[in-house]
Amino acid sequence: MANERIFKMAFSRIYPLLVQKAERKGRTKAEVDTVICWLTGYDEVGLKEQIDKNVDYEAFFNQAPLINPNASKIKGVICGYRVEEIEDPLMQKIRWLDKLVDELAKGKPMEKILRS
């Protein structure tokens, strides 16, 4: 199953891709970290530890200190799916992260991305 493959991907392999996507559009690694920490509740140290421990996507989200209560305000289409309609809770979190980095890369202001 495709979802299972995504869930088992190492977050340490995906993270640089998220950073590259943002940097190609003139955004920074620090902004990507801010978005990830906002969504997951990790702080900088916790995020780095997860990357260093080479956890998979599933563990990364399952061990997240606190999924932001405003994450449910993330709407729109990513990879052909409406994020608000994704049934699988883990896949929805993964797509939320994709969507946030996508908005960053598209030049959206940080306060809009962080749903403040």
User: How much is the pTM?
Assistant: 0.93
Q: Where are the domains of the chain?
A: 2-111
What is the three-class DSSP state of 100?
helix
Rg of the chain (C-alpha set): 13
> Which parts of 8-86 fold into alpha helices (H)?
11-24, 29-40, 44-52, 57-62
Q: What is the pLDDT of residues 63-105, one digit of tens each?
A: 999 999 999 999 999 888 899 999 999 999 999 999 999 999 9
- What confidence score (pLDDT) does residue 81 get? 87
Fold adopted by 2-111: Helicase, Ruva Protein; domain 3 (1.10.8)
The b/e string for 42-81 (b: 16+ C-beta within 10 A; e otherwise) is beeeebeebbeeebbbbbbbeebeebbeebeebeeebeee
The answer, yes or no, to whether residue 2 has pLDDT greater than 80, is: no
The answer, yes or no, to whether residue 116 has pLDDT greater than 90, is: no
- What confidence score (pLDDT) does residue 1 get? 62
Dist CA 11 CA 13 (whole Å): 5
Q: What is the pLDDT of residues 22-66, one digit of tens each?
A: 999 999 999 999 999 999 999 999 999 999 999 999 999 999 999
